[in-house]
Structure 1
Amino acid sequence: MLSYNIENVGSDTLYHFLYKSIKNDVLNGKLEAEEKLPSKRSLAKQMGISLITVETAYNQLLAEGYIYTEPRKGYFVSKLKIAQTEIKHDFKESREARNTQKFDSLVQKSRSAKQSKKHFVDFSNNLGNPEMFPFSTWAKITRQVLCENQMELLERAPYGGVYPLRKAIADMLNGFRNMNVDPEQIIVGAGTDYLYGLIVQILGFNKKYGVEDPGYSKISKIYRKMNVTCNFIPLDDSGVIIDQLEETCTDVIHISPSHHYPTGIVMPVSRRYELLSWAAKSSNRYIVEDDYDSEFRMTGRPISTLQNIDVSDKVIYINTFSKTLTSSARISYMVLPKSLAQKYKEEFSFYTCTVSTLEQLVLAKYISDGSFEKHINRMRNAYRGRRDTLLQAIRKSKLAAISTIAEEDAGLHFILKIDTALSDEEFCKQANEKGVRIGALSDYYTEATPSEHQFIINYSDLPENKIAKALNILYEVAIEKS
């Protein structure tokens, strides 16, 4: 029976490992033409992997012609004419082989540059699970758009993005976040990095911008590269401290109230109203609400956005599809207050939208036909299951005696407080040397006093079969100097 050892997955994703393994067996004749492959469900059960992993691998093999499917019969190995080509070994084939080797070498060097040391578990990876990308549905919609929207694809995209996508996003926000916004308020851009720069251009270079401390360091780096004043605002248990905004004369505060990164804090409604009151006191003040992973609240319904309870037009809402689809999908958007949307139209409409029309129309259909909602529900269930498995493993491990879990109800990470005599730097270093990559909360502080012995546990792409070993290593590191 067809089976592969997932211990040999290396740096590949599971689906890519499975795809390559079956492909190689087809090419070398181990799997013969017309041979029937196991069903997706039976192969997933046999290998101890998810059904979607097998489905994604099979879809890729189908797309490339290595296998074919017959309705109600299953999957079969395609008949490939490769024997004669292999015997010839002509110059063209040799050249192609050398080019393939060069490409593989470049890919390997690229991976090595990103990961200087192989980690069998990486708790610092906050990217989504690539195996959950809806390849088959995305490909189907792409083909549909290419056939039905040919003339639209050749037109220049409007400055804010194509209307079907802006309308789909507005409807989505209404359904999921109860936000009543006009499509004309929505500006689509290639990643939030780009949108941060637009915000500075809209609001002005003379304003003082504030970021959370601790916080996502890229935001402050972008503001500083835009040559604007950037203040670091400390947090308490409810989020940014309002008095500090006043003391630093901050005009624009950039926050992530639904699930702060990295502390995991969810800003309570009382602090949200305090923040809106602060903004309403001056015409220069605005709030940038970064709602980057609000879709993954694991307990109860999401708390209302600041934009939804803002009556003074002071909130710029920003979100991305990087978490819900894939990090390589550089499609983000912001919802401007109506006055700023009008200003953007009058002063910045000469810009061309930075996302291709094809991607925009595909995403618009993906949202409007209900596929996106189904995808989010599937992801939320999968991530909740992975989180629960990890939490249960921690509570059953030796680590439970010296650790405390916090902020696990929202987003794709939580905080693990560990009682250890080691400094955060030494703890992370020793864990890293033993193959477990982990980051400390203290690494994210700039000016505020760091919280010691709190570590960030990202679990979105965590291999479940390695959890127990990773937790045992963290325990051994923690008690080393005890």
Structure 2
Amino acid sequence: MLTYSFENIGDESLYEHLYRCIRADILAGRLQAGEKLPSKRALARQLGISVITVEGAYGQLVAEGYCQSVPKKGFFVAKLTSLPLRSVPAEKKPAEKSLPQKKYLADFTANSLPPADFPFKTWTHLLRQVMAGQAENLLKRSPGMGILSLRETIAAHLRSFRGLDVSAGQIVIGAGTEYLYGLLVQLLGREKCFGVENPGFDKIRKVYQQHGVRCVPVAMDEQGIIPAELLEKHVDVLHISPSHHFPTGCITPISRRYELLGWASAAEGRYIIEDDYDSEFRLTGRPIPTMMGIDVSGRVIYMNTFSKTLTPTIRISYMVLPEKLVQVFQQQLGFYNCTVSNFEQYTLARFIKDGHFEKHINRMRNCYRKRREALLQAMKDGELFARADIIERGSGLHFLLRFHTEKDDKALQAELEAKGIRMRPLRDYYAGEAEDAAHIFVLNYSGLSADPEVIHLAVARLADCLS
């Protein structure tokens, strides 16, 4: 006799609950293969539910192959010889609640744009215009490399802002740089050895490893990647951020850049992936010229993202391929569809073309400069510089602090977190031993509140942990 409770089933329909209960009994072996189920009317009468409810549950079980319907005989449990019997809870478990994220007074690891700084009004206005004026284009399938108007707009932006003379045909749009890394692995070959900066952004190394390629950390000095290391570790593809390295902030000088270009051109199949992730936010002087701009052998792949300039939730990144790789990309990977929606692509194209992007960058550069000055002034007022040295290169939205303390980095990190201050030690970004990285922490101020009281309180708590 089948007996099930219909109490506390939440939003689940009666037929779906009954279906789950019977399925659980079948998978647990309580209902054997070939066993006949009660008729629809008999089970409805027994459970006090409608015949339609039973009919719906039986119909779903038959559709999924758990039961068989034999004309004029009824419903029978099917043989599940290819599936191991397992215990399945009859009652639906309540939905798992997402754990609340801890709120910090100051999160110096965050690199997202504060909501108040995003141009919601302008973006919404442009999106409405795009939906009203380009409805037909919005519903067309996007080319694999991205819609042409956005790629043309990015090419024009790179020409004026970064001095890169590239065509729209060289640009590939993708939903985040991680997706583009995967495309490059497929394009350049999984047999290649990928080299990444050490220290460096740990996610890059993890992404390459998950794509099944050999990925090795390459040591750095004050000028960036050490060329001799590339030969020692047999690197074929080098991923670097020469204009502003994360997390040390160092800038690769022109002499070292030519050394790396020489390494790339010395053997067939070598390439450099130039990650220009935050070039728009150099707060002093002109932007550092790109490596792709001085590359004459077609060995540099330029990569950038709008996650830093707009928001990480707008998953739009792009890469610029050397001309000799464009046709290879189209032949090997041209079957992929673009992973960014047309709505966002057309809106971003308008946002850049109408001058809103440049205005936004200028405004955010001023905001970040003021935020940085307020933070440094609070550190000076709070006498933090008596307990720490600042290490910065005048570029990007983070700098390093070397603390005058004997405390272990992990212990200090936990103590800071207990006071609502989130920071990561520099040694977290190393693969292997972290020489000379003790007591140095990375301070990213892009997501810091602009409220002077919050800034001063955060600095006071930071100093208190060092006293």
Class of the TM-score when normalised by the shorter of the 2 chains: 0.7 to 0.9
SS, match of residue 210 in structure 1: strand
Measured in 2, the distance between the counterparts of 1:127 and 1:448 equals 29
The amino acid across from 1:466 in the alignment is V
1:452 to 432, 438, 446: 438
Q: 1:476 aligned to 2:464?
A: yes
Measured in 1, the distance between the counterparts of 2:433 and 2:162 equals 32
**Any unmatched runs of 5+ in structure 2?**
1-93
Aligned to 2:214: 229
User: Residues 205-247 of structure 1, C-alpha deviation per residue, up to 9 Å, x if partnerless?
Assistant: 1100011111111111111111110010011111111111110
Measured in 2, the distance between the counterparts of 1:421 and 1:138 equals 49
Preserved CA contact (<8 Å) 1:126 1:413: no
Aligned to 1:267: 252
User: Residues 84-131 of structure 1, C-alpha deviation per residue, up to 9 Å, x if partnerless?
Assistant: xxxxxxxxxxxxxxxxxxxxx999x5461x43xx32111121222222
User: Residues 25-61 of structure 1, C-alpha deviation per residue, up to 9 Å, x if partnerless?
Assistant: xxxxxxxxxxxxxxxxxxxxxxxxxxxxxxxxxxxxx
Structure 1 vs Structure 2 CA RMSD? 1.5
Deviation at 1:395, TM superposition (A): 2.0
The amino acid across from 2:339 in the alignment is T
Measured in 2, the distance between the counterparts of 1:267 and 1:399 equals 30
1:194-213 to 2 correspondence within 5 Å?
Answer: 194-213=179-198
User: Residues 319-366 of structure 1, C-alpha deviation per residue, up to 9 Å, x if partnerless?
Assistant: 100011111000000000001111111221111111111110110011
The amino acid across from 1:421 in the alignment is E
SS, match of residue 272 in structure 2: strand
1:365 to 331, 350, 353: 350
SS, match of residue 152 in structure 2: helix
Measured in 1, the distance between the counterparts of 2:252 and 2:95 equals 45
SS, match of residue 247 in structure 2: coil
Deviation at 1:164, TM superposition (A): 0.3
Q: 1:165 aligned to 2:167?
A: no
2:395 to 401, 410, 423: 410
Measured in 2, the distance between the counterparts of 1:137 and 1:404 equals 41
Measured in 2, the distance between the counterparts of 1:139 and 1:122 equals 29
**Any unmatched runs of 5+ in structure 1?**
1-104
Preserved CA contact (<8 Å) 2:250 2:393: no
Q: 1:217 aligned to 2:202?
A: yes
The amino acid across from 1:467 in the alignment is I
Flag the 1:180–1:205 CA change in 2: closer, same or farther, 3 A: same
The amino acid across from 2:461 in the alignment is I
SS, match of residue 459 in structure 2: helix
Flag the 1:414–1:106 CA change in 2: closer, same or farther, 3 A: farther
The amino acid across from 1:229 in the alignment is R
Flag the 1:337–1:377 CA change in 2: closer, same or farther, 3 A: same
Deviation at 1:396, TM superposition (A): 2.3
1:433 to 415, 418, 421: 418
The amino acid across from 2:113 in the alignment is G
Query: Which is higher, the Rg of structure 1 or of structure 2?
Result: 2
Preserved CA contact (<8 Å) 1:297 1:411: yes
What is the total number of aligned residue pairs between the two structures?
371
Deviation at 1:466, TM superposition (A): 1.3
Q: 1:193 aligned to 2:178?
A: yes
Flag the 1:318–1:352 CA change in 2: closer, same or farther, 3 A: same
TM-score in terms of structure 2 length:
0.77
Measured in 1, the distance between the counterparts of 2:433 and 2:188 equals 27
The amino acid across from 1:174 in the alignment is R
Deviation at 1:263, TM superposition (A): 1.1
Measured in 2, the distance between the counterparts of 1:274 and 1:131 equals 43
User: Residues 171-206 of structure 1, C-alpha deviation per residue, up to 9 Å, x if partnerless?
Assistant: 000111010001000000000010000000110011
TM-score in terms of structure 1 length:
0.75
Aligned to 2:373: 388
Flag the 1:129–1:111 CA change in 2: closer, same or farther, 3 A: farther
Measured in 1, the distance between the counterparts of 2:382 and 2:172 equals 47
Measured in 2, the distance between the counterparts of 1:358 and 1:435 equals 39
Q: 1:315 aligned to 2:300?
A: yes
User: Residues 279-332 of structure 1, C-alpha deviation per residue, up to 9 Å, x if partnerless?
Assistant: 110112100011111100000001110011111100010110001111100000
Runs of 4+ in 1 over 4 A off after TM superposition: none
Measured in 2, the distance between the counterparts of 1:265 and 1:111 equals 37
SS, match of residue 125 in structure 2: helix
Measured in 1, the distance between the counterparts of 2:278 and 2:343 equals 25
SS, match of residue 185 in structure 2: helix
1:75-474 to 2 correspondence within 5 Å?
Answer: 110=98, 112=100, 114-115=101-102, 118-450=103-435, 451-463=437-449, 464=451, 465-474=453-462
Flag the 1:432–1:194 CA change in 2: closer, same or farther, 3 A: same
Preserved CA contact (<8 Å) 1:421 1:478: no
SS, match of residue 457 in structure 2: helix
Preserved CA contact (<8 Å) 1:307 1:315: yes
Measured in 2, the distance between the counterparts of 1:433 and 1:449 equals 25
Flag the 1:303–1:453 CA change in 2: closer, same or farther, 3 A: same
The amino acid across from 1:200 in the alignment is V
The amino acid across from 2:327 in the alignment is Q
Measured in 2, the distance between the counterparts of 1:145 and 1:337 equals 32
Preserved CA contact (<8 Å) 1:167 1:183: yes
Measured in 2, the distance between the counterparts of 1:128 and 1:226 equals 29
Measured in 1, the distance between the counterparts of 2:188 and 2:130 equals 36
1:24-63 to 2 correspondence within 5 Å?
Answer: none
Measured in 2, the distance between the counterparts of 1:421 and 1:106 equals 46
Preserved CA contact (<8 Å) 1:213 1:448: no
Deviation at 1:408, TM superposition (A): 5.0
Preserved CA contact (<8 Å) 2:194 2:236: yes
Measured in 2, the distance between the counterparts of 1:375 and 1:146 equals 22
The amino acid across from 2:283 in the alignment is M
SS, match of residue 390 in structure 2: strand
Measured in 2, the distance between the counterparts of 1:123 and 1:159 equals 37
Q: Bigger CA drift: 334-343 or 256-265? A: 256-265
Measured in 2, the distance between the counterparts of 1:353 and 1:236 equals 38
Structure having the larger proportion of residues in helix: 1
